[in-house]
A and B are shown apart, each in its own frame.
Chain A
Amino acid sequence: MIRGAVAIFTRDFKKFLSNPFVIVMTLFMPVMYLLIFGNAMGGAIVHIPIGVVQDQPYTTETPLFTAAVAQLKDFHQPDKPSMFDVAVYTSEEVAKQALSQGRISAAVIFPSDVSADLTVRVYEDSSDYMVPSLIEGGVSAAMTGTGFSHPVAFNRIYGKVDYIQFFGVGVIVMAIFMTTMMGGAFALIRDRELGIIEGYLVTPVKRSSIILGTIGSTTVRAFLAGTIIFIFDILITGVVVRGADDFLLVLLVIFIASIGVTSLVVALASRFSTQQEYASVVAFFNLILFMTSGAFYPILGMPGWLIWIALINPEAYTVHALRSIILRGQGLAIIAPDLIALGIFSTLAIILGIVTYRRTLE
């Protein structure tokens, strides 16, 4: 019994040691989890952009306004940088526009008169996780700091958004990634290992047809997975889609993301000859892209180096675009930068996917 066990143990261990790439990835992954998971989740959210306005009729800055702005700029948690990046706007209209375009997370409107019964109005973007309550706490504390006792009224402009709604939108992106990474690419590597792809190569079918068929089938699967989760979001988490054009816009974002991620995955699957190597790389990609996408936790709360990753992370743009449409009811004008970023990513990924996959067909 022992002899057999030792034989199997030795064989397994020999195989493990013979693949340095997998060894490195195996040890590397937990460390990456520690660094990325640890930093991406639960970091202090600071530098929240807010706008302040002194209401009409404007004559001169009231003591309340001056004191409150100073307090807001200075407000911070112990040993942390300022919580708010304060921008002064000249009118309520401009500030609210900036808020609805997502450039600031809250607009604080101070009365033009110092009489103590006038209200300080706060309009806040309620679609983000944690940020609204931080703003509420921060503004209240800053007001106390000024010594004025004006009442403060908070308005959550997108109503109350539950965490499951916030997170549910992120899961659409996860569905796209999982379907391609796990389903599509493993099938591709398996087909290659089984020689099925080589079988194609002695038929008159064109190389471009093989590439188109492969990327096409996986893209459609990813698209369907994303769409199904979107419908789940509507049915289960109770997000509200405001019209057919919003619905179609969501499908467009899902589609562009699907084709981009699929092409990237086809490129990766073409680079790695064994399922094991591919799996370790994909686990890494999945971790870093999903964690920095903002699906779990606001990007504002991440350390600088993760924010840089988020800046080049196509999933972050996808999550932002989907939240803009689904949670905030914003249209094409607001998500245009996201679509451009996604478009660039998808184009590059398609080129990379075709070139890399084609090389395996030669």
Chain B
Amino acid sequence: MLSSPGSSGSKDPAPGSPGLTDNRIIRIQHLTKVFREKNRSVTAVDDVSLDVIKGEIFGLLGPNGAGKSTIIRILTTLLTPTSGTAFVDRFEITRNDEEIRGIIGVCPQNSTLDVELTAYDNLEFYGKLLNVEEEILHDRAMQLLGMAGLTDRAHMPVRTFSGGMKRKLEIVRAFLHRPLILFLDEPTIGLDPDSRWEVWQQIEKLNAEHTTIILTTHYMEEAEKLCHRIAFMDVGRLIALDTPENHKRAIPAGDLIEIGFETMREGLLPAITATGLVKSVEAKDNRVIIHALNGSRVLPALIAVFERFSMPMTSISIRSPTLEDVFIHLTGRKLDTGSSVENSPGGRRQKP
């Protein structure tokens, strides 16, 4: 049943990304997962191929139901794909699932902590399941509790913890055996901003220990802050994969500049267009809304135009495109439907 890991690696045709061959730690090839239920079938993952590079924080970003968690569940050997395959390190997900479970750490979306046990007992128990050597287990558990800022809570039942504390504990638990790869499925879902920030700090700390981290999220700010590369997913498909900067550069509209005014002067808008620096300009609700590539470079010229027309400005703001804008550009839809856009921290915050 078990093929030698070396042979499974050499059989791999290594399509795409030729320059990355050596440092790819996860290779997903034409992965498809169809869930069948009686006379209905849902394609949760639709022919996805991508690579994850050793040492990076890789983000799977998309709305609920995009197939992010399904990919994580396949990579962590909880599900088998309908077709296609994936390699984690040098192991194939269906043939070498036991080896894979030895090198990954997983923090699933829904908590799997035993809330009746103490924080320390949770770690000790998992240490045994994860084959952490008995002699170092205690020190390792205490070290991780320190890392999560839970040292003084070590011997309290997890039931008494706040959501953020539980989440941090669960993340360090996945890191007990120093896995090569850490999977975090929606690590900050439902957390308040302070706790979210703390979890981010922790993820960066773990990444600094040369752990490859794969996280799913539907929070823009989270992906932007943490991820080296981001894969956008929508209805099971991979729609774009790049660094956050490149994603934003791909938006043709560029930066958004808004200049407030009290009274409009005839000829201002044509004069702005005439500078040749902007992509579009319109006036709306006592504001001039301008799209331009490289907004901060364009701004002095725009101010000059306003002065030429003797128009006092009441406010100026420049906003770079967010990942939200990228998603809207790619799909024509907002990332998350309904009110959750307003609540999500990656929403419409303006940069100073």
Contact = CB atoms under 8 A, between A and B. Distances in A.
Interface of A: 194-196, 198-206
A204 B112 contact: no
A202 B78 contact: yes
Contacts of B78: 198, 201-202
Interface string B82-116: 00000000000000001001101010101111110
Contacts of A199: 108, 112-113, 126
Interface string B177-216: 0000000000000000000000000000000000000000
A109 B131 CA distance: 71
**Interface size of B as a range:** 10 to 19
Contacts of A203: 101, 126, 129-130
A205 B108 contact: no
Interface of B: 76-78, 98, 101-102, 104, 106, 108, 110-115, 126, 129-131
Contacts of B98: 204, 206
A199 B113 CA distance: 8
B101 A195 contact: no
Given A195-B112, A196-B112, A196-B114, A202 B102 contact: no
A203 to B, nearest CB: 4
17 contacts: A195-B108, A195-B110, A195-B111, A195-B112, A196-B112, A196-B113, A196-B114, A198-B108, A199-B126, A202-B76, A202-B77, A202-B104, A202-B106, A202-B108, A203-B126, A203-B129, A204-B98
A208 to B, nearest CB: 12
Nearest to B109: A195
A201 B108 CA distance: 11
Nearest to A202: B106
B130 A204 contact: yes
Determine which residue in A196, A198, A199 has the highest number of CB atoms from chain B within 10 A of its CB, and name it.
A199
Chain B interface secondary structure, helix, strand, loop or mixed? loop
B185 to A, nearest CB: 11
B173 to A, nearest CB: 9
A195 B166 CA distance: 14
B101 A204 contact: yes
Contacts of A202: 76-78, 101, 104, 106, 108
Nearest to A197: B112
A236 to B, nearest CB: 33
Nearest to B104: A202
Nearest to B112: A199
Contacts of A196: 112-114
A204 B114 contact: no
B5 to A, nearest CB: 15
A200 B115 CA distance: 15
B129 A200 contact: yes
Given A201-B78, A204-B102, 10 more contacts: A196-B114, A198-B108, A198-B112, A199-B112, A202-B78, A202-B106, A203-B101, A203-B126, A203-B130, A204-B130
A204 B131 contact: yes
Determine which residue in B76, B78, B106, B129 has the highest number of CB atoms from chain A within 10 A of its CB, and name it.
B129
B108 A204 contact: no
Contacts of B108: 195, 198-199, 202
A205 B110 contact: no
A200 B106 CA distance: 10
A294 B111 CA distance: 46
B78 to A, nearest CB: 6
Contacts of B126: 199, 203
Contacts of B104: 202
Contacts of A201: 77-78
Contacts of A200: 129
A213 to B, nearest CB: 10
Contacts of A204: 98, 101-102, 129-131
A318 B98 CA distance: 41
Contacts of B115: 194
A206 B126 CA distance: 13
A29 B115 CA distance: 34
A198 B106 CA distance: 11
Contacts of B110: 195
A195 B131 CA distance: 21
Nearest to B103: A204
A105 B96 CA distance: 63
A24 to B, nearest CB: 23
Determine which residue in A195, A198, A202, A206 has the highest number of CB atoms from chain B within 10 A of its CB, and name it.
A202
A361 to B, nearest CB: 10
B121 to A, nearest CB: 13
A334 B239 CA distance: 75
Nearest to B173: A199
A206 B104 CA distance: 15
Contacts of B106: 202
Nearest to A199: B112
A90 to B, nearest CB: 66
Nearest to B102: A204
A195 B170 CA distance: 13
Nearest to A206: B98
A329 to B, nearest CB: 45
Nearest to B114: A196
Nearest to A201: B78
A205 B97 CA distance: 11
Closest CB pairs A-B (n = 7): A199-B112, A202-B106, A203-B129, A204-B102, A205-B129, A204-B101, A195-B112
A207 to B, nearest CB: 9
Contacts of A194: 111-112, 114-115
B344 to A, nearest CB: 25
Contacts of B129: 200, 203-205
Nearest to B79: A362
A205 B126 CA distance: 10
A135 to B, nearest CB: 55
